[in-house]
Chain A
C-alpha cells in the first residue's frame, strides 16, 4: 500500500520551514534599511524615535569614507585582474591535459577559501613579517588574489567542460593557428564565464575583511572602516547609511552575474 507521505504537494510544515528560513535570511537586511533613516544618534533603539534622510548627506561628505571606498575598489579591480588570468590558465591546463597531480590543483586552489580566513591572513602576515616587506596596497592585493583565483577557475573550467571540443578541432583544421583559435573560438565561448567569475571575484575582494586586517597595515579599506565602527561605534547614523549603500552596491554585480548566466543557459555563480 502506498503511504501518503512525500507526495506531490509540500506539507504545511515543510512550507513553513522554507518560508521561515527565507525570512531569516532576508529580514535582517530590511532592518538595516530601516535604521539608516533613524533620528537616533546614540543608541539602536526600536521603535525608531523618528525618521530622517539627513544622514545620507552627512555620509557623502565624509572624506575618510571616500578614501576607504576608493582603496577598496582599486584593490578589488587589480585582484580580480590577477584572478582572471591565473584562474583561466589553471582551468585551461586542467581541462586540456591529464597530468600527475591534476587533482591536487583543485585542492590547492580551493584551500584559501576552505581554510579559515584567519589562517590565510596570519600566514601572509607571518611571511610579510619574516621577509620584512612593508605593508602596502600590494600586500592587500596579493592576499586577495589568492582566494579570488578559485571562483574564476571554477567558472571557466565548468564552461570548458561544456564547450564542444570539435569547435577547436574545426578551427585548427581550417588553418587557424593556436592564437587565432583562442581569439576567435575559445575566448567568445568563455567570455560570459570570465565576466561572471570576475564579478564574483570582485564582490569577494570588495567585501573581504579578515585577511585584509592582517595584510593592510595602516590603510583602511571600506570593510576595515566598517569593522572599526562595529567594535567601537562612533558614528552610528553614518554607519547605518554606509551599510545600506554597501548592500545596494553589492547587489548590482550579483544581479548582472545572474542575468548573464540565465542568458547563456548555464550555471555560473552557482556552486555546481
Chain B
C-alpha cells in the first residue's frame, strides 16, 4: 500500500511540492499575511470620538491623524533613536567582529562566538532589567561617578533637554544605552560573517601597494563588510523601531511608536489609529529590506 502511494507520488513531483508547501504556506498566508491584511484594513477605519466605537467605513481620517504634530514627533523621536542605536552598534561591533574573524584561532573563535550569542538567547526582559538596576539613581553607575567625584558630569548630562531626565534609568540616554546593549549581538554576527569572507591576501595586497591602515579599512575592508553591516542594521533598526518595552521601562512620558501603538489599542480601544501607526514602521522596513536585498545583505545573514 505504502509502496503504491510512494510510486504514485514519485510520478507526480508537482503534487509532492503542493503537499510539502501547502501547510506552511497556508499557515503563513492565512495567519500572518491575513493578520497583516486585517491590520491594513483596520487602518482605513476610524474611531467615533463620541461613542468610542470603531466605525467600519473607509476613511483616510485616521491616517491624517498621523500628521498631527504630536504623532510626527513620535515618529521622529523613534526613528532618530533607531538610527543612533544602529550607528553606535556598528562602531561597538566592528572591532570585536574583526578580532573574531581575523585574529582568533578556531578554538578561540568558537568561545568568542558563544560569548557573543549567549546574551542574545538569554532573556530579553531580564537584560533590560539589568539596566534598570545599573542605571538606577541609587545604582552602580551613580555610585561610580560619585566614587571619582565626577557626579557633576552625570548631572550635566541629565539636564540636557530632550535626552536627559530625572535619572539615567528614566531618560532617553538610558534607553539608548539599553538599546545598544540589547541589539549588539545582532550586529556583531553578520559583520563577522562578512569579514570572514574577506581573503587575508586582499588586505596584504592593499598594504603591499602602500595603503595605510585607514586607507585599507576605508577602501577594502569596509566595502566588503558592508553587506554584513547592512544585514545587522536591519535588525538593530527594525527592533528599535518596534520596541515598546525599553521605552516603557526606562523612558519618560514622551512616547515612542511602540508605546503609542500599545496604548492606542489598549486603553483607548482605538485599533484603527494603532494600525495606521504601525504602517509607518512596516513601510520603512519593507523599503529597507528591498534595498538590503539589492546590496546583498541576505547572503550575510
Contacts and interface: CB of A to CB of B under 8 A. Distances in A.
Interface of A: 1-3, 5-6, 9-10, 13-15, 17-18, 20-22, 24-26, 28-29, 31-32, 35, 43-47, 82, 85-87, 89-90, 92-93, 96-97, 99, 105-109, 111-112, 114-120, 122-127, 129-130, 142, 145-146, 149, 153, 177-179, 200, 203, 207, 209-210, 213-214, 223, 226-227, 230-231, 239, 243, 246-247, 250-251, 253-254, 258, 262, 269-272
B229 to A, nearest CB: 14
Contacts of A179: 2, 5-6
Contacts of B212: 3, 5
18 contacts: A1-B210, A3-B210, A3-B211, A6-B203, A17-B96, A18-B98, A21-B93, A21-B96, A25-B181, A25-B184, A25-B185, A31-B134, A46-B142, A92-B20, A99-B17, A120-B35, A122-B271, A247-B123
Contacts of B213: 3, 5-6
A21 B244 contact: no
Contacts of A262: 110
A28 B128 CA distance: 9
Contact of A25 (B119, B274, B278): B119
A254 B117 contact: yes
B281 interface: yes
B24 interface: yes
B289 interface: yes
Contacts of B239: 116-117
Report the 8 A-B pairs with minimum CB-CB distance, sorted nearest first: A116-B242, A17-B95, A5-B213, A177-B6, A28-B130, A18-B99, A93-B20, A123-B35
B122 to A, nearest CB: 5
B275 interface: yes
B10 A178 contact: yes
A115 B136 contact: no
A74 B22 CA distance: 26
B126 A2 contact: no
B250 to A, nearest CB: 9
B173 interface: no
Interface in B231-248: 234, 238-239, 241-245, 248
A21 B28 contact: no
Given A28-B130, A149-B28, A226-B126, A97 B2 contact: no
Interface range for B: 35 or more
Given A44-B138, A126-B42, A115 B103 contact: no
B181 A207 contact: no
A35 to B, nearest CB: 6
A90 B28 CA distance: 11
Contacts of B287: none
A10 B95 CA distance: 10
A254 B121 contact: yes
Among A47, A112, A127, A251, chain B packs the most CB atoms within 10 A around the CB of A127
B13 interface: yes
Given A44-B136, A126-B39, A119 B126 contact: no
Contact of B27 (A9, A86, A97, A269): A86
Given A92-B20, A126-B39, 14 more contacts: A3-B210, A5-B211, A6-B216, A18-B96, A47-B143, A89-B20, A97-B17, A122-B274, A123-B32, A124-B31, A177-B2, A178-B9, A179-B2, A271-B301
Q: Dominant SS at the A interface? A: helix
Contact of B271 (A25, A126, A239): A126
B268 interface: no
A21 B184 contact: yes
A229 to B, nearest CB: 8
Nearest to A175: B3
Contact of B289 (A25, A31, A114): A114
B265 A127 contact: no
Interface stretch (B60-68, B69-77, B150-158, B187-195): B187-195
Contacts of A112: 32
Given A24-B92, A118-B243, A258-B114, A44 B133 contact: yes
Interface in B256-270: 257-258, 261-262, 265
B32 A207 contact: no
A210 B118 CA distance: 21
Contact of B265 (A2, A31, A99, A125): A125
Contact of B121 (A149, A177, A203): A203
Among A13, A15, A227, chain B packs the most CB atoms within 10 A around the CB of A227
A52 to B, nearest CB: 17
Contacts of A47: 143
